[in-house]
């Protein structure tokens, strides 16, 4: 059995009850070893409810970062976020999972795990099923709301590596989310990011691609498709959709809500079998994708929805375990540089 996935037992809208229940499910149903960080007395009482007190370890963390914390005020070394990140940093855990405030998780992870060399800002990546039958990586899905164009261009690079390493896409195509598909469309951020991505896609000597080591084949620059629009997100137009974290988070939640609303309308009209509708709904349910991988750090972190219930936490633990076992962080790191080509 490998190192455990560390779970923030205090994070999320539903607190220890759902986080602990999800951790127990991750262990019992999926074989993911877990370690809980949180107020020991509270966490052990929740474990006892599931007869799991002797199965899962607990590391005490006295402080709780509130869900209203956006990140700038995260400083307690005794919080469950800080304790969890330190366990991963110090090698006691393979990965960290939290349903706490996204801003707080990102801030704490950057402070304690550190950004990988060359990374400007980390980004959250979520793989969304598409109508074409594959998946599209949405990045950034909420880590950095006000990035620079250089950061957005690097998000595209991180997303392309994620698509290659996690989804098995040999030659990922990248689209930049904008208000039109024509070149030059969008605000100042997207127009400049488009210029950077176009330059990176066209040049093999731009510093974006490096060898894995002596004798290893180089990773070619990603294929920049150009601008894409909102209706392309689930169409399978590209493998990676790059955007700022504010827009990406709105898109993610709109997708989840729109799918639920559309399927409810179809169900009410009686034009599809209920079991088939449930199958489609599961594809976009947070309990299926678990959470978003926080890319660009010196450690594996998965951020789950703040509203996560036990099923979502369990799935997030599976995702974190798979990312850690696949060595995604260490495999991406050698290919990063300070910034894309200008």
Report the pLDDT averaged over residues 317-334: 88
Assess contact for 6 and 76: CB atoms under 8 A: no
Q: What is the pTM of this model?
A: 0.87
User: Strand pairing partners for 223?
Assistant: 173
Instruction: Domains for the chain: give ranges and CATH numbers.
Output: 1-117+296-327 (3.40.718.10), 120-287 (3.40.718.10)
In tens, the pLDDT along 163-198 reads: 998 889 988 999 999 999 999 999 999 999 999 999
Minimum mean pLDDT among 60-74, 93-107, 316-330: which range? Answer: 60-74
Q: Tell me how far apart the alpha carbons of residues 254 and 121 are, in angstroms, rounded to a whole number.
A: 24
Of the pLDDT bands very low, low, confident and very high (cuts 50, 70, 90), residue 143 is: very high
Amino acid 73: pLDDT = 58
CA distance 234 to 293: 19
Under the banding of pLDDT at 50, 70 and 90, the label for residue 287 is low
**What is the pLDDT confidence band of residue 334, given thresholds at 50, 70 and 90?**
confident
Highest-scoring range by mean pLDDT, 68-72, 120-124, 221-225:
120-124
Buried b (16+ CB within 10 A) or exposed e, 270-303: eeeeeeebeeebeebbbbebbbbbbbbbbbbbbb
- Checking if the pLDDT of 205 tops 60, the result is no
Whole-angstrom distance, CA of residue 306 vs CA of residue 290: 11
pLDDT averaged over every residue in the chain: 87
Q: What is the Cα–Cα distance from 80 to 10, expressed in whole angstroms?
A: 7
Tokens of 273: 């079998």
CA–CA distance, 6 with 96 (Å, rounded to integer)? 5
Question: With 0-12 CB in 10 A as exposed, 13-18 as middle and 19+ as buried, what is 337?
Answer: middle
User: Is the pLDDT score of 337 beyond 60?
Assistant: no
């Amino acid at each position: 059995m490998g190192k455990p996935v560390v779970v923030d037992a205090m994070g999320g809208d539903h607190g220890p009850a759902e986080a602990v229940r999800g951790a127990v499910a991750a262990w019992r149903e999926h074989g993911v070893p877990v370690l809980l960080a949180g107020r020991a007395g509270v966490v052990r009482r929740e474990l006892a409810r599931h007869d799991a007190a002797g199965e899962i370890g607990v590391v005490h963390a006295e402080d709780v970062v509130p869900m209203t914390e956006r990140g700038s005020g995260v400083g307690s070394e005794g919080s469950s976020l800080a304790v969890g990140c330190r366990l991963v940093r110090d090698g006691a855990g393979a990965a960290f999972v939290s349903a706490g405030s996204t801003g707080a998780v990102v801030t704490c992870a950057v402070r304690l795990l550190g950004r990988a060399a060359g990374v400007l800002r980390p980004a959250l990546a979520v793989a969304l099923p598409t109508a074409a039958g594959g998946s599209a990586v949405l990045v950034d899905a909420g880590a950095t709301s006000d990035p620079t164009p250089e950061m957005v261009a690097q998000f595209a690079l991180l997303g392309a590596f994620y698509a290659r390493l996690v989804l098995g896409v040999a030659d990922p195509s990248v689209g930049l989310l904008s208000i039109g598909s024509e070149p030059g469309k969008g605000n100042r951020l997207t127009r400049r990011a488009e210029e950077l991505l176009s330059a990176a896609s066209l040049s093999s000597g731009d510093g974006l691609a490096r060898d894995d080591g002596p004798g290893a084949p180089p990773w070619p620059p990603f294929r920049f498709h150009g601008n894409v629009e909102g209706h392309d997100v689930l169409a399978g137009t590209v493998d990676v959709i790059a955007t700022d974290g504010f827009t990406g988070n709105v898109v993610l939640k709109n997708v989840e809500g729109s799918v639920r609303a559309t399927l409810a309308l179809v169900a009410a009209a009686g034009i599809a079998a209920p079991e088939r509708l449930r199958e489609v709904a599961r594809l976009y349910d947070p309990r299926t994708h678990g959470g978003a991988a926080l890319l660009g750090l010196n450690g594996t972190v998965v951020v789950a929805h703040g509203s996560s219930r036990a099923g979502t936490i369990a799935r997030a633990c599976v995702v974190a375990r798979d990312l850690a076992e696949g060595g995604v962080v260490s495999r991406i790191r050698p290919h990063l540089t300070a910034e894309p080509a200008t």
